[in-house]
Amino acid sequence: MAVLSYFANPQRFMAVSRPLSLIFMALGVTLILFGGWLGLFVAPSDYRQGDAARIMFVHVPSAWLSMGVFAFMAGASFVSLVWRHALADVAAKSAAPIGAAFTLLCLVTGSIWGRPIWGTWWEWDGRMTSVLVLFFIYLGYIAVWASMETQEKAARAAAILCLVGVINLPIIKFSVDWWNTLHQPATFFTGDNNATDGFKYPMYVMALGYLSLFGGATLLNMRAEVMSRRAEAIAQRRARQG
């Protein structure tokens, strides 16, 4: 909580976020370039899938982030609803388009990978379907922000939707899994080492790169949002003074 209230001051946030966003962006680009080089040239090609498996270095981190960003938004929405934290709803709003982009990237790269490996562009299997549903939830969340008259109303409505979404995501996931499962089960973090080390390290480097890029892009979005709200407030004050 101490950290939360420290950054509740938009003035302080603007001062700190400027260098921080640039550092995160630079770190993200560097890590993704390095991870891309590792994944394309250093990692061994898969003995069954050949070089097609290398798209996993883009696909898997974007899948992690698609869920991670939504969890981040849910946390920010909770803080925004409970403590009326000035920047929490800005954070959730700013993260949403980035999370949606990761989700879309995950779907598109999965589709490109599926064509040579499964022989189909799209398969209605459990995990693909639940990621698609997650993408629709992102779209609904962004639409709520876009369609409300005032920022305050939009913030509360979007926060409620985000929390309802996060309660329902496990139920949706369970139901879709129950419905159909063809996708290979989880490989990472399962305890038994299915992925080899040569495959793992580029993946972790890429995931860290994505995470930094997400942090940097979200901070940039937040700064833009804070500035546009300030500009709005100034314009309203001017209009009132005539």
Binding stretches for another protein (CB under 8 A):
81, 133-134, 136-137, 139-140, 143-144, 147-149, 152-153, 156-157, 160-161, 163-165, 167-168, 171-172, 174-176, 178-179
What are the backbone dihedrals phi and psi of residue 28, each rounded to the nearest 5 degrees, phi first? -60, -45
Residues contacting 113, CB < 8 A, separation 6+: 52, 53, 55, 56, 59
Q: How far apart are CA 112 and CA 201, in angstroms?
A: 23
Per DSSP, the three-state class of 64 is helix
| CB closer to another protein out of 4 and 139 | 139
| Shortest Å, Cβ 53 to another protein | 30
| Shortest Å, Cβ 145 to another protein | 11
| CB closer to another protein out of 26 and 139 | 139
| CB closer to another protein out of 60 and 67 | 67
| CB closer to another protein out of 47 and 178 | 178
Q: How far apart are CA 91 and CA 168, in angstroms?
A: 22
| Shortest Å, Cβ 92 to another protein | 15
| Shortest Å, Cβ 14 to another protein | 27
| CB closer to another protein out of 6 and 174 | 174
| Shortest Å, Cβ 213 to another protein | 26
| Shortest Å, Cβ 138 to another protein | 9
| CB closer to another protein out of 86 and 133 | 133
Question: In one letter, which amino acid is 135?
Answer: F
Q: How far apart are the first and last CA of the chain?
A: 42
Q: How far apart are CA 160 and CA 141, in angstroms?
A: 10
What are the backbone dihedrals phi and psi of residue 46, each rounded to the nearest 5 degrees, phi first? -65, 140
CB atoms within 10 A of CB 11: 8
What the block records as the tokens of 167 is: 């309660």
**Class of residue 197 by CB neighbours under 10 A (exposed 0-12, middle 13-18, buried 19+):** exposed
